[in-house]
Amino acid sequence: MNKPSRGTVKWFLFFYKEKRTANSFLFNYKKTDSSSVLLRSLHLRIMKHFQGIKWTRFIPGILAFILSAVLLTLPGSAFPKEDVFDKIHLDKWIHISMFGGVVFLWSIPFLQNILGLGKKRKVVLAIALIALAYGIAMEFVQKYWIPNRSFDLYDIVADGVGSFLPLLFIRPVNKMVNRKKFTSPTL
């Protein structure tokens, strides 16, 4: 097996495959029970979408995720207590834009790499579901561990709207991302 270039996820997969031990919990090929077969199948389905994608393309999504984690874990005393913000529901608009941005930025590398619009929709849907689960988990974190913050069901609804909003834009973004550069005809 030839060693792939260091800048791609293929290198990671090569390195990961070579370092895996025979008694690994998730990837023990000697086990034949249904749970290990299911986990192996799920692992292979997920990892095939990462092949050929440079890890640097995920940096904007990682930064957006870190920013959202910081904003969602700020204590309640860090926010202004103005009635103007409550009237326009600014908090909900922030949740929609933040989760839409996270899903969009995580989707771009896959939109550039995967062939077929149906597969792209499935990948973006999976990213949206993961983002929604993250939003629900962060509401519980706010309820139990962040001072002066509480659980809000409408924040979860806003997280869901923001997470699934990029699904509406797959086709135009796909055209924009995969557009071939225009070359002028030679005279």
The average pLDDT across 80-100 equals 81
Residue 185 in domain: no
Do residues 120 and 43 share a domain?
A: no
Residue 3 in domain: no
pLDDT digits (tens, 9 = 90+) for 59-68: 999 999 999 9
Is the whole-model pTM more than 0.75? no
For the beta carbon of residue 66, count every other beta carbon within 10 angstroms.
10
Question: Over 70: is that where the pLDDT of 48 sits?
Answer: yes
Question: Over 60: is that where the pLDDT of 173 sits?
Answer: yes
What does the pLDDT read at residue 85? 60
What does the pLDDT read at residue 150? 86
What does the pLDDT read at residue 4? 52
Do residues 94 and 171 share a domain?
A: yes
The average pLDDT across 95-101 equals 96
> pLDDT confidence of 28, banded at 50, 70, 90?
very low
Residue 2 in domain: no
Best CA proximity match to 26, nearest among 37, 16, 12, 14: 37
Do residues 126 and 97 share a domain?
A: yes
Residue 183 in domain: no
Contacts of 120 (CB under 8 A, 6+ apart): 110, 111, 114, 170, 174
d(CA 131, CA 101): 11
Structure tokens belonging to residue 182: 């225009």
Do residues 29 and 98 share a domain?
A: no
Residue type at 95 in one-letter notation: H
Do residues 113 and 25 share a domain?
A: no
Do residues 61 and 111 share a domain?
A: yes
Do residues 77 and 154 share a domain?
A: yes
| C-alpha of 9 from chain center | 16
Residue 182 in domain: no
Do residues 102 and 148 share a domain?
A: yes
Do residues 155 and 78 share a domain?
A: yes
For the beta carbon of residue 24, count every other beta carbon within 10 angstroms.
10
Q: Which structural domain range is residue 32 located in?
A: 9-47
Number of domains comprising the chain: 2
Instruction: Decide: 68 and 99 in contact? Cβ < 8 Å.
Output: yes
Residue type at 138 in one-letter notation: M
